[in-house]
Amino acid sequence: MASKQELEKYLNIIKESNFNEKCPIKDALEVIGGKWKLNILGQLLRKEVCRFNQLKRDISGITNTMLSNSLRELENDELIIRNQYNEMPVRVEYTLTDRGRNLLPLLYELTIWWDDYKNNKENSK
């Protein structure tokens, strides 16, 4: 839990942020939004490197279309890197960028935040 002083600092920063128009938080959420992107990032966090069909097998329910679209968007946002090897047949490997890996602490804190709440709810029953 953050100290009161830290919270104060955060608050000032947030206050300066404009939630109405383009704000960094919304931009950031947009990048990891969508139905499948967290799944993809999760797989790449675990395996370091992964191929197209590997991802498709591991992410239950995803279609070619969505996997393809999501990967392209993640690449454009520089969360992942696409490496193509022109062998026969073609081999393509996806890995996380530093930016992608830096999401890790954030995802961790989101988990904590969520679990804290659920635990409190359980206890108060």
Partner DNA sequence: CTGCATCCAAGGCGATACTG
Partner DNA sequence: CAGTATCGCCTTGGATGCAG
Q: Which residues bind DNA (CB under 7 A)?
A: 33-36, 51-54, 61-66, 68-69, 71-72, 82, 84, 89-93
Question: With binding defined as CB under 8 A, does residue 22 bind its own copies?
Answer: no
CB-count exposure of residue 101 (10 Å: 0-12, 13-18, 19+) = middle
- Binding partner at 82 among DNA, its own copies, none, C-beta below 5 to 8 Å by kind: DNA
CA 77/CA 99 separation, integer angstroms: 9
Question: With binding defined as CB under 8 A, does residue 81 bind its own copies?
Answer: no
Residue with tokens 């969520």: 114
In one-letter notation, the amino acid at residue 25 is I
CB count in 10 Å sphere of residue 88: 5
Q: Exactly one of 57, 68, 69, 114 binds its own copies (CB under 8 A); which one? A: 114
Q: Minimal distance in Å, beta carbon 90 to its own copies?
A: 27
CA 94/CA 97 separation, integer angstroms: 10
Q: Give the footprint of its own copies on this chain (CB under 8 A).
A: 1-2, 6-7, 10-11, 13-15, 17, 19-20, 23-29, 32-33, 38-39, 41-43, 45-46, 59-61, 78, 99, 101-111, 113-117
